[in-house]
Chain A
């Protein structure tokens, strides 16, 4: 499945900017949708279906884990999710994210072109 539309869920404006810039540089044809927390992301997902989700874990209002829990029960079809961890040293966070089968992998921040390549390979 080609990666045409990506939903970026991150509360941090700087991180959003980094994702946007890196993805545009990686493949300018990819469409990006921004959500600033889990709640917003769920609202967006009810209306449109992206090809992949890049998900920050630590967010106010609804964090990444809460989003995953809702996404798992509220939706029948799940698009692949990539978790963005602040630090991959925190093993518990990693395990907790990977227990959902639609979470394909996790990356440590900040997002890089290499990580995007891995992501595209996983999807296709």
Chain B
């Protein structure tokens, strides 16, 4: 017996039906309602003991529904005991007195001895009592099912017997008969046991109904066959062996064979349905597993039909595209693409269906996806064609490759820059070396010829050449440092750095001629990387000094700084040579020199400046002036933790 098994309205309903029938009949017996015995004698074909057992079993069902295990066992044992004793009386022929123990019948209908329970009823009570009380383990479940079939079968035979007026169906021995209401009670109990035996799987009702129909049909067939046999015997006694007897024999055999065939077929159908149920359950479990795998996949997985209508999407799709699942299913897959793809998509599908020529199916491609907010992002898409039994669908695996694309672009950019760097350095390093070789050759020649005056200027040129080479190498080191140097952020006073750098550069040619105006609040602080920051300031200062206009009577440099919206702007405005308009677009690129005749530069200064500001999460811009240049460096002030990330970003 199992508490869970009997939970629910089914067990209670069964119990209630049995108790009601039993109580009514008990009431009639106890009240000795003789007019009922006269008008409807069949009602009292249910003996008192039978009615009592029915009430006990019905109560057991209800008790089981509420989980009163002990009550259930007590009631079923009592029922089984009465049934066994009644059966014993039939077998042994001894009257042990149980028939009239609780009530002395005032009338005897359908009983071999006053008050005696019919044998088929006794068997049904015994089997049902066992069926209710056996525990719910695997084989017991099968046993309960079998017991239910037998009980329901016996009851169905009895009831059909009343229907087709076949007395043998309800009267097994002599006059002892199962009354129709007893039959009904057993039908309910048997059905209940079958229902509980097959457990809860959805199609019980149909299964139970068809099982009872089968059992009843078979029983009637059997009875018909027996009736035929009896008829045949009767004819043979009266007429001896003749033609009509043979026909009866053939008919009765036919009935029996068809019944056996029917039984086999039904058994097979039942076995098959059980197997189907098991495989359906296994299939459902495997489907659930697959669904879980798909739903927890990192990549978006979407299926569409041949018109592009979305059939399924997984959770990653929801996250990636910003739509909810129900917003996507049933829509055209074009909703997940930017316009330039979606306009083409119908065409792709059409041409694929027409020509079989795949643009993407089975290939995998990088394209763009569109989120619900309209933003576009790069995706990698692999599409597969799935041929189902009745149609074709397409599955797409979508991966968001925003990060990968960004890295790719960064790597390509860095690579191109390195290539350019290698090309330019090989040239620019070789250039002073080649000149020096030429100059050394000349110097030797001059020395031989004793032309000492020219020799001195040649050696001066040689020295300048080496200084140039040295400067270039220094700059290359600076570029490398900008690229590779790992530096911690620290609070920096902008004013202090500018003043210190001015001090350091005071030895430069023309420094003293220049009027330098520093307009920076001494309190202005920036949290950034000190060495890179100092490099930026030194770069801009030395540029302003180196490229001042020699013809300008009063060279001026104004340095100012301010904080705006978490950004520090540092501006260097001079009235120097400026930048020729056609050179401005490539101002911050590698190895560009704009004033070769005025000062020697490696062509790396502004490139280093740009790289350093970018490394600090900022940028540098050039603004032409009426006369001279104005460079503005914009850096995040780094004052909040939130900004620390953007500073560290390269």
Q: Which residues of B contact A13 (CB under 8 A)?
A: 461
Q: Does more than half of chain B's interface fall in helix, strand or loop, or is it mixed?
A: helix
Q: Which residue of B lies closest to A36 (CB)?
A: B597
CB-CB under 8 A for A18 and B438, given A36-B596, A61-B596 = yes
Pick from B427, B438, B439, B465: contact of A86, CB under 8 Å: B427
Q: Is the CB of A87 within 8 A of B439?
A: no
Q: Does A15 contact B (CB under 8 A)?
A: yes
Q: Which residue of A lies closest to B431 (CB)?
A: A86
Q: Is the CB of A87 within 8 A of B430?
A: yes
Q: Is the CB of A90 within 8 A of B439?
A: no
Q: Is the CB of B435 within 8 A of A21?
A: no
Q: Which residues of A contact B217 (CB under 8 A)?
A: none
Please, what's the 1-or-0 string for B421-447, where 1 marks a CB less than 8 Å from any CB in chain A? 001001110111011011101100100
Please, what's the 1-or-0 string for A107-120, where 1 marks a CB less than 8 Å from any CB in chain B? 01111100000000
Q: Does A17 contact B (CB under 8 A)?
A: yes
Q: Does B554 contact A (CB under 8 A)?
A: no
Q: Is the CB of A15 within 8 A of B427?
A: no
CB-CB under 8 A for A12 and B427, given A17-B461, A36-B597, A60-B593 = no
Q: Does A58 contact B (CB under 8 A)?
A: yes
Q: How many B residues are at the interface, by size bracket?
A: 20 to 34
Q: Does more than half of chain A's interface fall in helix, strand or loop, or is it mixed?
A: loop
Q: Does B592 contact A (CB under 8 A)?
A: yes
Q: Does B464 contact A (CB under 8 A)?
A: yes
Q: Is the CB of B596 within 8 A of A15?
A: no
Q: Is the CB of A110 within 8 A of B437?
A: yes
Whole-angstrom distance from the CB of B112 to the nearest CB of chain A?
Answer: 121
Q: Is the CB of A87 within 8 A of B426?
A: yes
Q: Which residues of A contact B592 (CB under 8 A)?
A: 60
Q: Does B66 contact A (CB under 8 A)?
A: no
Number of A-B contacts (CB under 8 A): 65
Q: Is the CB of B430 within 8 A of A14?
A: no
For window 56-87 of A, CB contacts with B under 8 Å fall at 58-61, 86-87
Q: Which residues of A contact B427 (CB under 8 A)?
A: 58, 86-87, 90
CB-CB under 8 A for A90 and B596, given A14-B464, A18-B439 = no
Q: Does B90 contact A (CB under 8 A)?
A: no
Q: Does B162 contact A (CB under 8 A)?
A: no
Q: Which residues of A contact B596 (CB under 8 A)?
A: 11, 36-37, 59-61
Q: Is the CB of B593 within 8 A of A109?
A: no
Q: Which residues of A contact B435 (CB under 8 A)?
A: 12, 14-15, 18, 109-110
Kindly state the separation between the CA atoms of A111 and B458 in the bound complex, as whole angstroms. 16
Q: Does B511 contact A (CB under 8 A)?
A: no
Whole-angstrom distance from the CB of B438 to the nearest CB of chain A?
Answer: 3
Q: Which residues of B contact A89 (CB under 8 A)?
A: 426
Pick from A36, A61, A90, A111: contact of B438, CB under 8 Å: A111
Whole-angstrom distance from the CB of B475 to the nearest CB of chain A?
Answer: 16
Kindly state the separation between the CA atoms of A109 and B435 in the bound complex, as whole angstroms. 7
For window 432-481 of B, CB contacts with A under 8 Å fall at 432, 434-435, 437-439, 441-442, 445, 458, 461, 464-465
Q: Which residue of A lies closest to B437 (CB)?
A: A110
Q: Which residues of B contact A22 (CB under 8 A)?
A: 438, 442
Whole-angstrom distance from the CB of B582 to the nearest CB of chain A?
Answer: 9
Q: Does B594 contact A (CB under 8 A)?
A: yes
Whole-angstrom distance from the CB of B312 to the nearest CB of chain A?
Answer: 54
Q: Which residues of B contact A18 (CB under 8 A)?
A: 435, 438-439, 442
Whole-angstrom distance from the CB of B465 to the nearest CB of chain A?
Answer: 6
Q: Is the CB of A110 within 8 A of B438?
A: yes
Q: Which residues of B contact A60 (CB under 8 A)?
A: 592-594, 596, 603
Q: Which residue of A lies closest to B458 (CB)?
A: A17
Please, what's the 1-or-0 string for B576-615, where 1 marks a CB less than 8 Å from any CB in chain A? 0000100100000000111011000001000000000000
Q: Which residue of A lies closest to B464 (CB)?
A: A14
CB-CB under 8 A for A109 and B442, given A14-B464, A36-B597, A60-B593 = no
Residues of A bordering B, CB below 8 Å: 11-15, 17-18, 21-22, 25, 36-37, 58-61, 86-87, 89-90, 108-112
**27 pairs, CB–CB < 8 Å, chain A vs chain B:** A11-B596, A12-B431, A13-B461, A14-B432, A14-B461, A17-B439, A17-B458, A18-B439, A18-B442, A21-B442, A22-B438, A58-B428, A58-B431, A60-B603, A61-B580, A61-B596, A86-B431, A87-B426, A87-B427, A89-B426, A90-B427, A108-B434, A109-B431, A109-B438, A110-B438, A110-B439, A110-B441
Which 3 residue pairs are nearest across A and B when measured between Cβ atoms?
A: A110-B438, A109-B434, A18-B438
